[in-house]
Amino acid sequence: MDFYFFNLMPYGALDLEYDKKYASANLLLPNSYYDPEEGHKLYTRYMDELEYADELGFDGVCVNEHHQTAYGLMPTPGVIAGALARNTRQAKVCVLGRALPLVNNPLMIAEEFSMLDNITKGRFVAGFVRGLGVEYHAMGINPAFSLERFHEAHDLVVRAWTEIGPFAFEGKHYHLQYVNLWPRPYSKPHPEVWIPSQGSEETIRWAAHPDRRYTYLNVYSPFSAVEQFMGMYRRVCEEDYGYEAEDRQLGLAVPIYVGETDEIAAKEARPHIEAFFNKFLRIPNELLLPPGYTSISSLKAIALAKREMLGGGKSMERMNDLGMFICGSADTVRTRLEEFQDRIGLGRMCTILQFGTLPHELTRKNMELFATKVMPHFRGRLRRPRSEAAE
């Protein structure tokens, strides 16, 4: 199993009492809540943490894109990735991901990713996402065309990466007389692609297709749902596409906190992880799932799987039980990750070791304990499949 360090860059200085006046830290929270002095300090420390992850031996450092929200301060993740490209040595620089449908010219994403791939000499992972539903409100893009735009933009980006230009691209949503990418990507045939997703069958089928074999990275689902989605990926590969999925095709992003003991871990993590789930991730359904963002049936399925997350008032214990947060001594965390690996054949673990308001010192300690006491255990460890009955 490979390990990646994901930093969402939340506005950790957020006044957590905001929810007495506003329904969400997304979209509707006035930006008067943002203090640029605090913002500068946060960007500095978060980038220090990402660079430290490289020193600690993580296989990759990850950033992502969110708009008009205290939840994540990277509307343009390429800015951070560009700095990381120069200040890291061995870790892959991963942008997980850019929201293709939210831009009106996806060629700019092809260009940006190609620059990062060249600067890092191929030490780069390209993530493509549709963006959260709320971001269709934030960016004024019609959610009903989200899936169409995602596929069309993806095809444009991959063609721009792999075909010699200039050529014309005429789609339904994007119209370019000239596609002729300078620079071409460093990686052959193009940078590795991951698809972070909240879990929908359409996305899984598409990512697993033999032409793509992209890594499916599940985010924020209860473990039972993750198991179901990963099982679906493997099944689709085997039954519909006639190949066996490699472990590297399955990834999971999850917040983790390692302490010296279970008690210390719980005590230190509690206020910060509860702020993460209950304050930073607080989004009413109308904002999170705008009409047309998913099919009506998918919308129902996602709503059911996510009910726990969106319900609010979530305790750390509940999130821990659901497998949406992993917390404890190194021993405890190792045991749980072994279970993840063995039960679903997880190949890639994106650890979210900073979450919500977790301060710098505790983040560093968490990273150090994870890197020295958990990660080494999994180097070269192979999956030992187990069934429910065998436990």
> Which residue of 128, 136, 186, 280 would you call a contact of other proteins, by CB under 8 A?
136
Q: Which residues pair with 3 in a beta bridge?
A: 349
Closest approach, Cβ 140 to other proteins, in A, equals 5
User: Could you say which residues in the range 155-194 bind other proteins, by CB under 8 A?
Assistant: none
Which lies closer to other proteins via its Cβ, residue 296 or residue 390? 296
User: What 3-state class would DSSP assign to 133?
Assistant: coil
> Which residue of 40, 79, 90, 144 would you call a contact of other proteins, by CB under 8 A?
144
Q: Are 251 and 217 in contact (CB under 8 A)?
A: yes
The DSSP code for 74 is -
d(CA 302, CA 290): 13
> Which residue of 68, 118, 142, 228 would you call a contact of other proteins, by CB under 8 A?
142
Which lies closer to other proteins via its Cβ, residue 87 or residue 142? 142
Stretch that binds other proteins, among 114-122, 138-146, 174-182, 305-313 (CB under 8 A): 138-146
Q: Are 262 and 329 in contact (CB under 8 A)?
A: yes
User: Could you say which residues in the range 188-227 bind other proteins, by CB under 8 A?
Assistant: none
Stretch that binds other proteins, among 121-129, 207-215, 280-288, 332-340 (CB under 8 A): 280-288
User: Could you say which residues in the range 296-325 bind other proteins, by CB under 8 A?
Assistant: 296, 299
38 binds other proteins, rule: CB under 8 A? no
Which lies closer to other proteins via its Cβ, residue 162 or residue 295? 295
d(CA 58, CA 259): 19
> Which residue of 118, 292, 365, 368 would you call a contact of other proteins, by CB under 8 A?
292
290 binds other proteins, rule: CB under 8 A? yes
Which lies closer to other proteins via its Cβ, residue 85 or residue 134? 134
> Which residue of 137, 272, 306, 334 would you call a contact of other proteins, by CB under 8 A?
137
Which lies closer to other proteins via its Cβ, residue 26 or residue 363? 26
CB atoms within 10 A of CB 50: 26
User: What 3-state class would DSSP assign to 102?
Assistant: helix
Closest approach, Cβ 21 to other proteins, in A, equals 16
362 binds other proteins, rule: CB under 8 A? no
Which lies closer to other proteins via its Cβ, residue 202 or residue 263? 202
Q: Are 363 and 322 in contact (CB under 8 A)?
A: no
Stretch that binds other proteins, among 140-148, 151-159, 229-237, 330-338 (CB under 8 A): 140-148
Apex CA 296: angle with CA 65 and CA 68, to 5°? 25
Q: Are 128 and 94 in contact (CB under 8 A)?
A: no
Which lies closer to other proteins via its Cβ, residue 53 or residue 141? 141
Which lies closer to other proteins via its Cβ, residue 300 or residue 379? 300
Binding residues with other proteins: total (CB under 8 A): 19
Closest approach, Cβ 27 to other proteins, in A, equals 8
> Which residue of 18, 22, 34, 145 would you call a contact of other proteins, by CB under 8 A?
145
- Where do runs of H (alpha helix) occur along the chain? 36-55, 77-87, 107-119, 134-139, 146-162, 201-208, 223-235, 262-275, 285-288, 296-310, 316-322, 330-344, 360-369, 375-378
Among 96, 134, 145, which residue's Cα sits nearest to residue 116? 96
User: What 3-state class would DSSP assign to 93?
Assistant: strand
Sequence-ordered list of residues with C-beta below 8 angstroms from that of 79, at least 6 positions apart, any chain: none
Which lies closer to other proteins via its Cβ, residue 60 or residue 131? 131
One DSSP character per residue, 3-47 reads EEEE-----TT--GGGGGT-S-SBSSS-GGG--HHHHHHHHHHHH
Closest approach, Cβ 287 to other proteins, in A, equals 6
Handedness of CA 179, 194, 230, 256 (dihedral sign): negative
Stretch that binds other proteins, among 104-112, 135-143, 200-208, 212-220 (CB under 8 A): 135-143
The DSSP code for 182 is S
> Which residue of 286, 315, 335, 359 would you call a contact of other proteins, by CB under 8 A?
286
Apex CA 245: angle with CA 243 and CA 248, to 5°? 150
Q: Which residues bind other proteins (CB under 8 A)?
A: 27-28, 136-137, 140-145, 284-287, 290-292, 296, 299
